[in-house]
A and B are shown apart, each in its own frame.
Chain A
């Protein structure tokens, strides 16, 4: 995507200047000692359509870092994803992106 010449003097991230409704929400999946790693990969592929590589990478982030932002989307979509992740038994929350 082409970028306009940056004439801003404010160097804070763009998202801070966006209206509240346009800021994406991060869907965060948290580590859990019970869910199998292969099951988490399966759930990521099924819900988000990730390929093997991306699904594994996100799962390993959850495993190693304790959490991973799996997608950043508009609020209603984020609520939908978090609810689906809960239905699969994963620990997930949503938080405003760009903080």
Chain B
């Protein structure tokens, strides 16, 4: 199971540092997600609903929105790709422990993890067509073909909650 521990302050920067323990199964699932998300971002025409959820409109007026999109260019897509790359690098540089990985995280890297995991949750939920209360849509039948997706949604939500709680109350 995911374990997050506050390790104190970095002696050089004075910033809070946490260690995040992932067992092998968690680490391998999480490590597979950046490539999946990147592949999806690379094919916007095949994933229209998900793309619209990740890059929603700023303006309701179509002309204003078109101008806004033009000004933004690819910057939002690039930012997400950079986040995915940062997550890959953190997983690759994590310390190998007997049953999994241990990552050292500061506030900035926790923030990246939160955005990454939240994006994955949004993608899965959009794919599943969840538009109302998530809890009421979880299938009770473990044989349901969507059960693994709901399980991943729930798992990522649990880790998100742990990270948010730690950032709100370090130590």
Instruction: Mark A residues whose CB is within 8 Å of B.
Output: 33-36, 38-39, 41-42, 46, 52, 79, 82-83, 86-89, 91-95
A1 to B130, CA, bound (A): 47
Cβ–Cβ < 8 Å partners of B132 in chain A: 33
Cβ–Cβ < 8 Å partners of A52 in chain B: 168
Nearest 10 A/B pairs, CB to CB: A34-B125, A89-B118, A82-B58, A38-B164, A42-B164, A89-B122, A33-B134, A39-B164, A34-B121, A91-B56
Residue B99 CB within 8 A of the other chain = no
B56 touching A86, Cβ below 8 Å? yes
Least distance between B70 CB and chain A CB atoms (Å):
13
A93 touching B57, Cβ below 8 Å? yes
A36 touching B161, Cβ below 8 Å? yes
Closest residue of A by beta carbon distance from B153: A34
B167 touching A42, Cβ below 8 Å? yes
Closest residue of B by beta carbon distance from A94: B58
Q: Indicate the member of B121, B130, B153, B164 with the most A CB atoms within 10 Å.
A: B164
A36 to B134, CA, bound (A): 10
A92 touching B56, Cβ below 8 Å? yes
A86 touching B58, Cβ below 8 Å? yes
A89 touching B119, Cβ below 8 Å? yes
Closest residue of A by beta carbon distance from B111: A46
| Range for the number of chain B residues in contact with chain A | 20 to 34
Cβ–Cβ < 8 Å partners of B111 in chain A: 46
Cβ–Cβ < 8 Å partners of B165 in chain A: 38
Residue of A41, A42, A86 touching B76 (CB-CB under 8 A):
A86
Cβ–Cβ < 8 Å partners of B160 in chain A: 36, 39
* A-B residue pairs in contact (CB < 8 Å), sample of 21: A34-B125, A35-B118, A36-B160, A38-B164, A39-B160, A39-B161, A41-B164, A42-B114, A42-B164, A42-B167, A52-B168, A83-B72, A86-B55, A86-B76, A87-B76, A87-B80, A88-B115, A89-B122, A91-B56, A92-B56, A94-B59
Chain B 89-103 interface residues, beta-carbon cutoff 8 Å to A: none
Cβ–Cβ < 8 Å partners of A79 in chain B: 58, 68
Cβ–Cβ < 8 Å partners of B164 in chain A: 36, 38-39, 41-42
